[in-house]
């Protein structure tokens, strides 16, 4: 996973992360921040609203509390108030993303894009996920993608690395070898 955001968002996320870890609320807090991050991704105007100088911090706090009241625990609700006091509500989306990144690093979780020519069965997905986990030593969240142009095999994109075991790649390498 790539770190997204700015330094201020990362600093706040790190502080909230350490607090959640200390209070043994890491899993619940991460779940809340994943939901918040998703809402921000689906509604980019929310950041503009929270960054607006026309809207008071109390109004921003009311918006956020009403928007996330059913999907946020005590620690996350406290973070809303803290951010409002510090006039940093516009960072909430970035903080959410950064918090989840820190959680994944702490739990040794990584995302892997697995590209295949045809969709995998559930059993195949489980086997591929298990194989990647064993090879990497990490817990893997697999994102399956299909691309018929690879012809067969699979391509794995994980942690800034690409493992290309596609038939297309094999044929390309064979062609180059035969030309030499």
Evaluate whether residue 1 is within a structural domain: no
pLDDT at 8: 93
- Same domain for 137 and 95, yes or no, is no
88 Cβ contact list (under 8 Å, min separation 6): 8, 12
> pLDDT exceeding 70 applies to what percent of the chain?
97
Residue finishing a domain among 63, 81, 105? 105
- Same domain for 69 and 40, yes or no, is yes
Evaluate whether residue 2 is within a structural domain: no
- Same domain for 140 and 70, yes or no, is no
Give the pLDDT mean for 160-175: 94
Mean pLDDT of the chain: 93
> pLDDT exceeding 90 applies to what percent of the chain?
92
Evaluate whether residue 62 is within a structural domain: yes
- Same domain for 88 and 128, yes or no, is no
- Same domain for 81 and 122, yes or no, is no
Could you give the CA distance from residue 46 to residue 153 in angstroms, rounded to a whole number? 42
Q: Does residue 3 carry a pLDDT above 70?
A: no
Angle, CA 110 vertex, CA 107 and CA 116 arms, to 5° = 150
Print the domain residue range for 144.
109-179
- Same domain for 62 and 137, yes or no, is no
- Same domain for 101 and 13, yes or no, is yes
Cβ-contact 29, 76 below 8 angstroms: yes
Residue finishing a domain among 85, 105, 125? 105
Give the pLDDT mean for 72-80: 91
- Same domain for 136 and 170, yes or no, is yes
pLDDT at 104: 97
- Same domain for 55 and 136, yes or no, is no
pLDDT at 72: 87
- Same domain for 80 and 52, yes or no, is yes
Nearest one of 92, 75, 99 to 17, comparing CA atoms: 99
Cβ-contact 112, 143 below 8 angstroms: yes
pLDDT at 2: 39
**124-139 pLDDT, tens per residue?**
999 999 999 999 999 9
Could you give the CA distance from residue 33 to residue 47 in angstroms, rounded to a whole number? 15
Evaluate whether residue 94 is within a structural domain: yes
Evaluate whether residue 32 is within a structural domain: yes
- CATH number for the domain including 33? 1.10.520.20
- Same domain for 46 and 90, yes or no, is yes
- Same domain for 92 and 141, yes or no, is no
């Amino acid at each position: 996973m790539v770190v997204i955001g700015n330094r201020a968002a990362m600093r706040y996320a790190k502080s909230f992360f350490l607090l959640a870890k200390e209070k043994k609320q890491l899993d619940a807090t991460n779940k809340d921040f994943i939901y918040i991050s998703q809402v921000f991704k689906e509604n980019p105007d929310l950041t503009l609203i929270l960054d607006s100088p026309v809207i008071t911090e109390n109004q921003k706090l009311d918006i956020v509390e009403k928007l996330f009241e059913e999907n946020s625990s005590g620690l996350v609700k406290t973070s809303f108030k803290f951010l409002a006091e510090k006039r940093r509500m516009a960072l909430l989306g970035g903080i959410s993303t950064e918090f989840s990144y820190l959680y994944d690093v702490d739990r040794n979780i990584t995302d892997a894009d697995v590209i295949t020519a045809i969709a995998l069965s559930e059993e195949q997905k489980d086997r591929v996920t298990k194989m990647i986990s064993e090879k990497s030593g990490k817990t893997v969240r697999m994102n399956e993608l299909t691309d018929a142009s690879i012809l067969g095999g699979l391509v794995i994109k994980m942690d800034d690395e690409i493992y290309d075991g596609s038939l297309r790649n094999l044929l390309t390498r064979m062609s180059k070898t035969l030309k030499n």
